[in-house]
Amino acid sequence: MNTTPSHHPQAAHAYLDHAATTPVLDEVVEVVAREMRETGNASSLHDPGRRARRVVEESREQVAEALGVRPSEVVFTSGGTEADNLAVKGTYAARRAADPARDRIVVSGIEHHAVLDPVEHLVTHEGARVTWVEPDAQGRITPDALERALDADGGPGTAALVSVMWANNEVGTIQPVPELAALAREHGIPIHSDAVQALGQAPLDLSAVDLGVVTGHKIGGTLGVGVLTAGRDQAPVPLTHGGGQERGLRSGTLDTAAIAGLALAVTHAAEHQASHARHLARLRDALVEGALALDPGITVSGPWTPGDTTERLAGNAHLRVADCEGDSLLYLLDAAGVACSTGSACQAGVPRPSHVLLAMGIPEEEAKGALRLTLGHASSQADVDAFLAALPPALERARRAHAASRPSTARSA
Q: What is the pLDDT of residues 82-129, one digit of tens each?
A: 999 999 999 999 999 999 999 999 999 999 999 999 999 999 999 999
**CA 43, CA 117: separation in Å to the nearest integer?**
32
**346 catalytic, yes or no?**
yes
> Above 70 in pLDDT, residue 265?
yes
The domain made up of 26-271 is a member of CATH 3.90.1150.10 = no
Which residues make up the CATH 3.90.1150.10 domain(s) of the chain?
A: 10-23+273-403
Note the pLDDT tens digit of each residue in 359-412. 999 999 999 999 999 999 999 999 999 999 999 999 999 999 888 887 654 433
Structural element, H or E, at residue 15: strand 14-15
32 Cβ partners below 8 Å, 6+ apart? Answer: 222, 257, 258, 260, 261
Q: Is 99 exposed, middle or buried (0-12, 13-18, 19+ CB in 10 A)?
A: exposed
Q: Which of 292, 300, 322, 346 is catalytic?
A: 346
Once rounded to an integer, what is the mean pLDDT over residues 142-165? 98
> Above 60 in pLDDT, residue 61?
yes
Q: Is 66 exposed, middle or buried (0-12, 13-18, 19+ CB in 10 A)?
A: buried
- Model-level pTM? 0.93
pLDDT of residue 5: 41
pLDDT of residue 343: 74
Q: How confident is the model at residue 315 (pLDDT cuts 50, 70, 90)?
A: very high
What is the DSSP secondary structure assignment for residue 236, as one 8-state letter?
Answer: P
Which residues make up the CATH 3.40.640.10 domain(s) of the chain?
A: 26-271
pLDDT of residue 151: 97
**CA 206, CA 165: separation in Å to the nearest integer?**
12
Amino acid letter for position 186: E
| Helix, strand, coil % in the chain, rounded to nearest 5 | 45, 15, 40
Contact 86, 250 (CB under 8 A): yes
Q: What is the largest CA-CA distance in the chain?
A: 87
Q: How confident is the model at residue 200 (pLDDT cuts 50, 70, 90)?
A: very high
Bridge partners (DSSP) of residue 212 are 193, 229
Q: How far is CA 394 from the centre of its chain?
A: 28
Contact 172, 302 (CB under 8 A): yes
pLDDT of residue 349: 53
**CA 335, CA 287: separation in Å to the nearest integer?**
19
Bridge partners (DSSP) of residue 300 are 319
Query: 10-23+273-403 belongs to which homologous superfamily?
Result: Aspartate Aminotransferase, domain 1 (3.90.1150.10)
